[in-house]
Amino acid sequence: MAKSKRTKPEDRNRRITQRVGAEKLRMSTQKPPLSRQAGRENEGGDEKGCACEADRLSVATSQPNVVVDPVTGLTDVIRNAWFVAYFKHNACCDCCEFRQYVRGFFELNGTVVPGPFPGFNFRFWQEDQDAAGEMYGHRDRPGEDGDRYVPDQADGCIYLGRDTPGFYGLSSGDDYSILLEFADVIIDTCNNDDVVAGPKLWDLIAAGTVP
């Protein structure tokens, strides 16, 4: 099995989603991040005449789950998400890339927990990434379980992804609140990163007290 996209934070203030935005991409607080372009400056594709054509982008999620780590005995509040995208076999699949954006906040025992990167908040969308600084859907990095193109990373016409955001490492008696919003899109890297599918929106909203 490939290495998990998520690693648990090392300290109490980082017991939060293990995929977070790092790219300084700010967008409207009222609309989903990115919208399909009404027109393109270079309609028709790159110098090779290529353009991404997405057949389908689907996102499936579970209900929020409260699970106990059998090793540490600590509690995680998580939600699972699975992504699949199909691109037309037009010899331009390498132009198609998946992106995920996130915004939100965490509260622990009545106090807002500092985000896992500077500027993380509920107002601005930022590109999601893991603790190693790797972002979903970028073809220029090796694919792995939960974030890969098939049959090959360079120009595969199917994208398969998975995410498990949450509040990790909670102790008995902790009061928690989570509000995370996600937006998933397909962009055309051969045409100014125009959005050609999405956004597909989903969230993780949970609050309670750990038994």
Pairing state between β 111-112 and 96-108 = antiparallel
Which range has highest mean pLDDT (83-87, 143-147, 162-166)?
Answer: 83-87
Beta bridge partners of 176: 108, 208
Residue 129, pLDDT score: 76
pTM of the model: 0.79
pLDDT band at 22 (very low <50, low <70, confident <90, very high): very low
Quick check: helix, strand or coil at residue 206? strand
Amino acid letter, 161: G
Instruction: Describe the strand order of the beta sheet including 147-150 as a list of residue ranges.
Output: 54-61, 81-87, 158-163, 147-150
Which pLDDT score is estimated for 11?
Answer: 41
Residues whose CB is less than 8 angstroms from the CB of residue 103 and which lie 6 or more positions away in sequence, other chains included: 21, 120, 121, 122, 123, 124, 125, 126, 180, 181
Helix (H, G, I), strand (E, B) or coil at 14: helix
Q: Residue 122 has what pLDDT? A: 84
Residue 118 has pLDDT above 80, yes or no: no
Mean pLDDT, range 59-63, rounded to an integer = 96
For 94, the 3-state DSSP assignment is: helix
